[in-house]
Amino acid sequence: MPSVNDVVKRLVLGRALRSDRLGETLLPKKIALPVFASDALSSVAYAPDEIFLTLSVAGLAAYSFSWKIGLMVAVVMLVVVASYRQNVHAYPSGGGDYEVATTNLGPRFGLTVAAALLVDYVLTVAVSVSSGVQNASSAIGFVKGHEALVASGLVLLLMAANLRGVKESGGAFAVPTYGFMLAIIGMTVFGLFRHFFGDLPYAESAKYTIAPEHGFEEGFMGLGAAFLLLRTFSSGCAALTGVEAISNGVPAFKKPKSKNAATTLLLMGTIAVTMLMGIITLGNLTHLRFAERPAQQLLLNGQPVGKDYDQPTVIAQLADTVFQGPLHGLSYVVIAFTGVILILAANTAFNGFPVLGSILAKDGYLPRQLHTRGDRLAYSNGIVLLAGFAILLIVSFDAEVTRLIQLYIVGVFISFTLSQTGMIRHWTRLLQQETDPAARGRMRRARVINSVGLAMTATVLVIVLITKFVRGAWIALAAMAVLYLLMRSIHRHYDRVRNELEPTDDLVAQPSRNHAVVLVSKLHAPTLRALAYAKATRPHDLTALTVSVDPDDSQALQAEWDRRGLDIALTVVDSPYREITKPILDYVKRIRLDSPRDVVTVFIPEYVVGRWWEQLLHNQSALRLKGRLLFVPGVMVTSVPYQLQSSDRRKDEDSTAFRKTPRR
């Protein structure tokens, strides 16, 4: 009979996969697009919100710049996509920006990129899920006021889905992702169709005016206007998050891997730019209003609308406007797909974070457990770790997207900038070795693309740092710095351990003698088994050792020992303070002190039980003692198990599982 844990694990994860079935988990382009591009595609659901929201600080006059900001963001995205198409061909192993920076700029820069990406992946999950819950709260009443709890629950669901494997999660998320694309593009096309025929109504919020905040009462001009435009541009660049995920996930594609990854990148960039510009265009055509502080900024007949006004998101307002009339039901379809895709956008991070974590673990910068695949051949430990950090962020910031977004995109533009710099050095190095004119021409074109990408991403990074630092970006930078130092420390630890584990001559030489010590608490079957096993090892000398905590018990034990006529003398160590561990340690250390070249083997009888709660009732002293003995040089600790009847239940389960194991 399988245990409850096995049944639950099977229900959540599915049947375990053999290692030689890894090829079955590789993704075709139609599945890879929703798996790796859902973050970048979903960014268009909140990037326009951030553009309109930030411009609203200066009043309606600033809205005329929205399409220009959107166009600038689109240009940067297309250039970055073109640059990353070079990356996936040059470095298809899945290291992405980390590998590019490490190979061409050095380990310190590679580690900087890794820290930036890991932080950004966590923020991707927190921002995407929080944004999806925020969209849902306007349509689902009970979500209001419980956003953090609902968002945390959704992160756990995403974690469970990804633990089942990349291909399974991608197949489940493909329909919502493609549905979102069709919904947004369909809404854009239908809205433009209505506009060209003079039938497109204004948004419900068009009746409001927007009161400019302090500093813009006299108009949209001067340094304040320039700074606000830069801040708007940096917020709109949130649409670029997730572009790098495909370069980190090239190994997950079906062959030809690089070609399929590059094609998916191009599809993602084209679709994302189309949707972004479509939403901004419709927003301007419908005279949509979206304010940072709607209760105070939105005015009707010169009076603020007040705190009772519930401001829908940009997409919700556009869907309600475009499908006004007989097709109004389609607006709910758009809102539903938007809410779902914002939540599923976190799936990109659930694929990127574990892979990057596995590579870093392999290189010795993160715990080795992150390099291990789980039952479904996914990097399970990385998936669980990402979910935990994302939930921590969601709870800390109460799932408020406006606060979380300020921490966002800093990390991804650090990785963009260093990656482009590394690619320029990559092409320069290859050009010094290449003699074929055609190949040199391709390399020069690639270097130009990466150079343009570097100029743009570095500019955006500077703008982001200037405009977002005091608004929360410093928290992300601090997290990156802490993670960088932590990974350096882990790497030094692994290096130190590796050096200490190198074989030396004194370790090869055999010890002079082996002193065996069998610990005795009572004279029962486990003790007799431990004594028999210790004899079988043929030590130089054998001691049965007990600690006298209660004189009456010690006398009774000695009497029973003598009655059985055992041929091993019982050594009794007094413990006036009723300690057990310290007297044994002192005894063992005295043997070592008298004979430094000898070893001491301590045999500890232990009960083997079948239920978890029984383990709490037995072996606690043995566990504490083993934990202390492990730190004593020259001492070997041997557990001698004695199976109680309850362990038969576990033995039967293991036998059943063994019989069910498929054989080749």
Summarised one tens digit per residue, pLDDT across range 295-308 is 888 888 888 888 88
What DSSP string runs through 218-286? T-S-HHHHHHHHHHHHHHHGGGGTTTTHHHH-GGGBPSSHHHHHHHHHHHHHHHHHHHHHHHHHHHHHT
CB 151 within 8 A of CB 399: yes
Tell me the pLDDT band of 294, cut-offs 50, 70 and 90.
confident
Per-residue confidence (pLDDT) for residue 16, from 0 to 100: 52
Percent of the chain with pLDDT over 70: 86
Contacts of 140 (CB under 8 A, 6+ apart): none
Least confident of 385-389, 412-416, 503-507, 584-588: 503-507
Give the helix/strand (H/E) hosting 584: helix 581-594
Question: Which CATH number, 3.90.320.10, 1.10.3720.10, 3.30.70.370, 1.20.1740.10, labels domain 4-495?
Answer: 1.20.1740.10
Mean pLDDT of 583-604: 89
Least confident of 78-82, 236-240, 527-531, 571-575: 236-240
Per-residue confidence (pLDDT) for residue 236, from 0 to 100: 83
Residue 417, pLDDT above cutoff 70: yes
| Virtual torsion, Cα 71, 75, 81, 87, nearest 10 deg | -150
Residue 137, pLDDT above cutoff 80: no
CA angle, residues 273, 278, 279, in degrees to nearest 5: 105
Q: Report the Cα–Cα distance between both ends of the chain, in Å, rounded.
A: 24
Contacts of 578 (CB under 8 A, 6+ apart): 549
Least confident of 190-199, 320-329, 367-376, 386-395: 367-376
Summarised one tens digit per residue, pLDDT across range 26-62 is 677 777 787 777 777 777 777 888 889 888 888 888 8
Report how far residue 606's alpha carbon sits from residue 47's, in angstroms, rounded to the nearest whole number: 61
Per-residue confidence (pLDDT) for residue 19, from 0 to 100: 43
Residue 377, pLDDT above cutoff 70: no
Residue 280, pLDDT above cutoff 90: yes
Residue 603, pLDDT above cutoff 50: yes
CB 198 within 8 A of CB 320: no
Summarised one tens digit per residue, pLDDT across range 532-568 is 999 999 999 999 999 998 888 889 999 999 888 888 8
Give the helix/strand (H/E) hosting 47: helix 47-55
Per-residue confidence (pLDDT) for residue 202, from 0 to 100: 93
Per-residue confidence (pLDDT) for residue 84, from 0 to 100: 84
Per-residue confidence (pLDDT) for residue 613, from 0 to 100: 72
Q: Is 546 exposed, middle or buried (0-12, 13-18, 19+ CB in 10 A)?
A: buried
Contacts of 496 (CB under 8 A, 6+ apart): none
CB 58 within 8 A of CB 222: no
Contacts of 622 (CB under 8 A, 6+ apart): 604, 606, 639
Calculate the average pLDDT of the chain.
83
Per-residue confidence (pLDDT) for residue 619, from 0 to 100: 63
Summarised one tens digit per residue, pLDDT across range 152-176 is 998 998 888 778 765 555 566 688 8
Mean pLDDT of 338-346: 79
pTM above 0.75, yes or no: no
HEC string of 443-464 equals HHHHHHHHHHHHHHHHHHHHHH
Q: Using CA of residue 299, residue 304, residue 308, residue 311, what is the dihedral sign?
A: positive
Report how far residue 153's alpha carbon sits from residue 638's, in angstroms, rounded to the nearest whole number: 45
Report how far residue 349's alpha carbon sits from residue 379's, in angstroms, rounded to the nearest whole number: 13
Output 214 or 300, whichever has higher pLDDT. 300
Summarised one tens digit per residue, pLDDT across range 321-336 is 999 988 888 998 998 8
Mean pLDDT of 74-100: 84
Residue 663, pLDDT above cutoff 80: no
Per-residue confidence (pLDDT) for residue 43, from 0 to 100: 79
Domain ranges of the chain: 4-495, 505-660
Mean pLDDT of 374-393: 82
Tell me the pLDDT band of 128, cut-offs 50, 70 and 90.
confident
Per-residue confidence (pLDDT) for residue 469, from 0 to 100: 80
Strand partners for 27: 253
Report how far residue 317's alpha carbon sits from residue 290's, in angstroms, rounded to the nearest whole number: 9
Strand partners for 607: 642
Least confident of 209-218, 259-268, 372-381, 645-654: 645-654
Short-list 629, 626, 621, CA closest to 586: 629
- Give me 92's structure tokens: 């298809």
Least confident of 239-243, 311-315, 354-358: 239-243
Per-residue confidence (pLDDT) for residue 602, from 0 to 100: 94
Tell me the pLDDT band of 1, cut-offs 50, 70 and 90.
very low
Angle between helices 107-137 and 147-163 (to 10 degrees): 120
Output 646 or 207, whichever has higher pLDDT. 207
Percent of the chain with pLDDT over 90: 25
Q: Is 375 exposed, middle or buried (0-12, 13-18, 19+ CB in 10 A)?
A: middle
Query: At the top level of CATH, which class does the domain 505-660 belong to?
Result: alpha beta
Per-residue confidence (pLDDT) for residue 183, from 0 to 100: 93
Mean pLDDT of 378-405: 85
Tell me the pLDDT band of 190, cut-offs 50, 70 and 90.
very high
What DSSP string runs through 531-559? HHHHHHT--SEEEEEEEESSHHHHHHHHH
Summarised one tens digit per residue, pLDDT across range 472-522 is 788 889 999 999 999 999 999 989 888 877 766 655 556 678 899 999 988
Per-residue confidence (pLDDT) for residue 224, from 0 to 100: 78
CA angle, residues 397, 403, 408, in degrees to nearest 5: 105
CB 239 within 8 A of CB 72: no
**Rg over CA atoms, the chain:** 33
Tell me the pLDDT band of 138, cut-offs 50, 70 and 90.
low
Contacts of 511 (CB under 8 A, 6+ apart): 597, 598, 599, 634
The number of helices, as runs of H, and strands, as runs of E, in the chain is 27, 8
Least confident of 4-13, 113-122, 156-165, 411-420: 4-13
Contacts of 386 (CB under 8 A, 6+ apart): 121, 122, 125, 159, 349, 350, 353, 354
Tell me the pLDDT band of 123, cut-offs 50, 70 and 90.
confident
Output 425 or 216, whichever has higher pLDDT. 425
Contacts of 270 (CB under 8 A, 6+ apart): none
Tell me the pLDDT band of 319, cut-offs 50, 70 and 90.
very high
Neighbouring CB atoms inside 10 A of 89's CB total: 16
Q: Among 20-34, 179-193, 308-322, name the most confident range.
A: 179-193
